[in-house]
Structure 1
Amino acid sequence: MFSQLKRLGADSLLYAFMNVGTKLIAFVLFPFYTYYLSGLAEYGMLDYIDRLVSMLTFLVIFGTDSALAYYYFEYKDKETREKYVRSVMTFRLMIVVILFLVFFLGGDWLSKLLLDSEGYSNLFYIAFATLFLDTIITLVLTILRYEFKTKKVVITTVTKMLLFAVLSIVFLIYIWTSVEGVLIARLISVGLIILVLIKPSMPYLRPIFDWTILKKILIYATPLVPASLAFWLIINSNVFFLKEFTSFEESGIYGTAVKFATFITLLTSGVQLAWRPFSMSLKDKESSPQLFATLYAAILIIGSFGVLLLATIMPLIILILAEPYQIAYPYVAPIAIATFINFFYMIVSTGIFYSKQTKHVSIAFGIAAIVCVILSILFIPMYGIWGAVISYVTSYCVALFLVFRKSQKLYYVPFSGFKMAWTILCLIVATASIVYIQVKDLNSWLIAGVWIGFIILILVIRMDKYFVKRK
């Protein structure tokens, strides 16, 4: 057990370093957006395009990441593994090309429909060129992760972000002070990274059409596609509803809050990247359930403290932005709860992926997406951004508990669902209390009281005895 924990810890630390680096670069870059882009509306448009591309990325991946993780560790010979990777690469690049043709033929009509103007179709073309190159990079880095070449993954990813940051600043200051300048900077940066990864990429860029392999991949992956679309709906539908019910300015504020909420991923993303290969490598070990229970509990507690810390210091962090953007700070910590839960569901879904019952992830997130849309329609017209936050957090809570319940039936881990629910409820109440104290400008010592109350409430249910026996 110790050797497995050591590997997870070492890889997680390296990935955490990578994500700290990339997030810091992103946050250094963010004030340049707020200064050089012409107001919240233009940043709202950039955020809108990013979210649209993220939805299309789900279609490109089509659940093949989880399928590849399973079959890559299922087979041990290099030739078979390479065939699976090449099949996934061929499939993904074909989807990108098809999507590009749709937007190319749609042109100004889609620009008018999505961005309220016919003059922005070129932004989609640049975004798709970037998506094509980034699809190659993503899959190559995924294989390097599976081979535990963590240092190479970290160096490449951080270099990519540095390139993007430097080029974005140069374009915004000297060449193109617009959304188009940012998108072109991204395209150039991924193009340069492709050149760096050309050697490990070459074996996988040879197209292959092996129907037997592709069928196995799609049988595993297809049930996850509705989950991917549901993910996109939960993450992004709020922005579209805000744009329709309010304005691009409101979308810009919400997008700013989401950007800062990803601070919590400084704690989680290292574990997230290391978790899938780590957990799949332990599939047949007898001691794995107890090890997973220990990790579930530790991750939940550490993540909860991370969210509360973010809520506490957010009013100071937000000062790095231009004044119009500073009003986003009350929404950051509540959104961070949803961001953390989105990560934590993957940790507690071990049984679903072991048993290849991936359709249950789609079912859970499909239900959560419906909840998100309904709550958005009900609350956003009345409460604006707070309505979006309520729907976002609630939908992820629904998804987490549905996934956990099914995963426990398929592969039991001695971990208490009740105590998990209690911890998350206490986290939501404590976060809301801290934000209320800050917004109302009450005595800051009350925040210390919230921290103490949260710790006591967790100790009451004996988090040191987090594990339960199967009935």
Structure 2
Amino acid sequence: MFQNLKRLGGDSLLYALMNVGTKIIAFIMVPIYTYLLTKSEFGVVDIIDRWTSALTFLVILGTDSALAFYYFEKKDEQSRRTYIQNVMNIRLLMVGCLLLITVIAGPLFANDLLKSEHGSYLLYLSIAILLLDTIAALVLTVLRYEFKTLRVVILTVLKMLLVAVLSYFFLTRIIQSAEGILYARIISGGLIVLLIAKPVIKYLSFKFDRNILKDLLKYGLPLVPASLAFWVILNSSSFFLASMKSLDEVGIYGVATKFATLITLITSGIQMAWRPYSMSLKDKPNHKEIFSKVYLIILLMGTTGVLFVATIMPYVFLILEQSYYSAYQYVALLSAATFLNFYYLIISVGIFFMKKTKIISYAFAGAAVINVILNIILIPSYSIWGVVASYLISYLAAIIYIFVKSQKLYYIPVSLWKMSALFFVMLAGTIGIVYVQEHALSPLYIVLAWVVYVATVGITRVDKDLRGTRNHETN
């Protein structure tokens, strides 16, 4: 068991370092972009990013989760290769269909959407980026499944560096517009594809296997609505804020969300390592005990991290302009929602093991509906706090539903009440800390919040669960 946990920890650390590196590069480039681009041009880049993000969900069609399952279910190399080839074919076909739709429909809306005479051309460039990223992403996914973690990390960081350097070059030397960044992304993507040309050629076949295609789509398609629901939850709030309040508040919320995503510096590493790790672990004799410990370890890390974020944010925001300072108060609760967005992957092993992926779609489709309704109700009265509440509540509803369903399908011996106690005490502590900071109360109240949280850890005896061994089928 120790060796399994050591592998997860080692891979998670490398992926965490990778994400730290890429996010640091991204944060460094933001002020450079704002210096070299006008606000409208920066807006074009943002719209293209959101557009490409939505298309990526359609291209993948849930085949990432399907491939994760069948890759580890199939033990021979040829079967695995055939599944990978069919996934590549599905994704390339989708890119082709999206290109056709863009060529036909793009001229009807692109110029108005992007406020540019070259709007359609910009969309075509985005499809080229999508194609290159689609090819590279699948190969990097397979490398993750083969536990070639270091190679994945190097290629990912290299791509980000190439995009940053080439973007700066294009913007300062050739074309000072959104096109410069898109050209940089195309060249960077092309260079990465060249570096992985051998496996790319290996996985290109342009032949569909009907039975494998059926397996992949049956497993993966039910996850597409969930992916689109994620997109709605993550993006709709900004549009509601803009229409119901003002762009100033959208800017404050945007700064808060950027800082909230810093928690992914930790979670994204675990997330990338989790799927191959969990799938390879399911045949181990003591795997349920390992899963129960991982559930609690990651929850402890997440809840402690959110409380830490709440405690330090006022000091972190001193580095920003005073006009953005008020954004600090939203960061911790947004971080809690961001953590839930990651944590559902950890506590849903039963759903993926039993191929009941429709549950994920139901959960997040419902969460998207809840999010939209709460935004409409809460934003007029509570502005950004209404957004934060709708974001957190919708994710909380989804993760509770997913956990209960997963446990019914594939029971993992972990206590729901202990997990709930840890999370909700953290949530209450976070709200209390922000209240203390906003009203300039004694810092001792912040210490009290931490004491209550630590006491909860002790009362629930989580430490005993992490040390002990118990029967797999009992509470």
Q: TM-score range by the shorter chain?
A: over 0.9
CA separation of 1:125 and 1:340: change in aligned 2, threshold 3 A: same
Q: 1:123 is matched by which residue type in structure 2?
A: L
1:408 Cα deviation after fit: 0.4
1:322 Cα deviation after fit: 5.4
CA separation of 1:297 and 1:370: change in aligned 2, threshold 3 A: same
Q: 1:6 is matched by which residue type in structure 2?
A: K
1:235 Cα deviation after fit: 1.6
Counterpart residue number, 1:470: 474
Provide, for residues 359-390 of structure 1, a one-character-per-residue CA deviation record: whole Å limited to 9, x for no partner: 11111111111111111111223333222221
Q: Any stretches of 5+ residues in structure 1 without a counterpart?
A: none
Q: Any stretches of 5+ residues in structure 2 without a counterpart?
A: none
1:321 Cα deviation after fit: 4.8
Counterpart residue number, 1:306: 305
Counterpart residue number, 2:75: 76
- Determine if the alignment matches structure 1 residue 357 to structure 2 residue 361: no
Counterpart residue number, 1:260: 259
- Determine if the alignment matches structure 1 residue 411 to structure 2 residue 410: yes
Counterpart residue number, 1:27: 27
Counterpart residue number, 1:158: 157
Counterpart residue number, 2:344: 345
Contact 1:331-1:386 at 8 Å conserved across structures: yes
Deviates more, 1:221-230 or 1:105-114: 105-114
For residues 35 and 324 of structure 1, the distance between their equivalents in structure 2, rounded to whole angstroms, comes to: 19
Provide, for residues 180-224 of structure 1, a one-character-per-residue CA deviation record: whole Å limited to 9, x for no partner: 433333222222212212122111133222222111110111111
Deviates more, 1:386-395 or 1:132-141: 386-395
Alignment of 1:35-74 (within 5 A): 35-39=35-39, 43=42, 46-74=45-73
SS of equivalent residue, structure 2 residue 414: coil
1:43 Cα deviation after fit: 4.8
Contact 1:140-1:201 at 8 Å conserved across structures: yes
For residues 2 and 353 of structure 1, the distance between their equivalents in structure 2, rounded to whole angstroms, comes to: 24
Query: What is the Cα-based RMSD across aligned positions, in Å?
Result: 2.4
CA separation of 1:466 and 1:177: change in aligned 2, threshold 3 A: farther
CA separation of 1:133 and 1:320: change in aligned 2, threshold 3 A: farther
Deviates more, 1:371-380 or 1:108-117: 108-117
CA separation of 1:259 and 1:44: change in aligned 2, threshold 3 A: farther
For residues 450 and 195 of structure 1, the distance between their equivalents in structure 2, rounded to whole angstroms, comes to: 53
Counterpart residue number, 1:131: 130
Counterpart residue number, 2:221: 222
Counterpart residue number, 1:3: 3
SS of equivalent residue, structure 1 residue 340: helix
CA separation of 1:432 and 1:168: change in aligned 2, threshold 3 A: farther
CA separation of 1:314 and 1:110: change in aligned 2, threshold 3 A: farther
For residues 238 and 116 of structure 1, the distance between their equivalents in structure 2, rounded to whole angstroms, comes to: 22
- Determine if the alignment matches structure 1 residue 197 to structure 2 residue 201: no
CA separation of 1:346 and 1:322: change in aligned 2, threshold 3 A: same
For residues 356 and 411 of structure 1, the distance between their equivalents in structure 2, rounded to whole angstroms, comes to: 11
Deviates more, 1:140-149 or 1:369-378: 369-378
SS of equivalent residue, structure 2 residue 281: coil
Deviates more, 1:290-299 or 1:237-246: 237-246
TM-score of the superposition, structure 2-length normalised?
0.91
Provide, for residues 109-139 of structure 1, a one-character-per-residue CA deviation record: whole Å limited to 9, x for no partner: 3236645676633332222211111111110
Counterpart residue number, 2:208: 209
Contact 1:44-1:248 at 8 Å conserved across structures: no
1:465 Cα deviation after fit: 4.1
Counterpart residue number, 2:94: 95
For residues 412 and 135 of structure 1, the distance between their equivalents in structure 2, rounded to whole angstroms, comes to: 35
For residues 125 and 242 of structure 1, the distance between their equivalents in structure 2, rounded to whole angstroms, comes to: 30
1:397 Cα deviation after fit: 0.6
For residues 34 and 309 of structure 1, the distance between their equivalents in structure 2, rounded to whole angstroms, comes to: 30
For residues 172 and 87 of structure 2, the distance between their equivalents in structure 1, rounded to whole angstroms, comes to: 39
Counterpart residue number, 1:447: 446
For residues 320 and 128 of structure 1, the distance between their equivalents in structure 2, rounded to whole angstroms, comes to: 38
For residues 42 and 437 of structure 1, the distance between their equivalents in structure 2, rounded to whole angstroms, comes to: 40
For residues 162 and 434 of structure 2, the distance between their equivalents in structure 1, rounded to whole angstroms, comes to: 36
1:328 Cα deviation after fit: 3.1
TM-score of the superposition, structure 1-length normalised?
0.92
Q: 2:433 is matched by which residue type in structure 1?
A: I
CA separation of 1:259 and 1:176: change in aligned 2, threshold 3 A: farther
Counterpart residue number, 1:13: 13
CA separation of 1:246 and 1:276: change in aligned 2, threshold 3 A: same
Counterpart residue number, 1:296: 295
Provide, for residues 6-61 of structure 1, a one-character-per-residue CA deviation record: whole Å limited to 9, x for no partner: 2112211111111121122222222323444445x765554343233222211111
1:170 Cα deviation after fit: 3.2
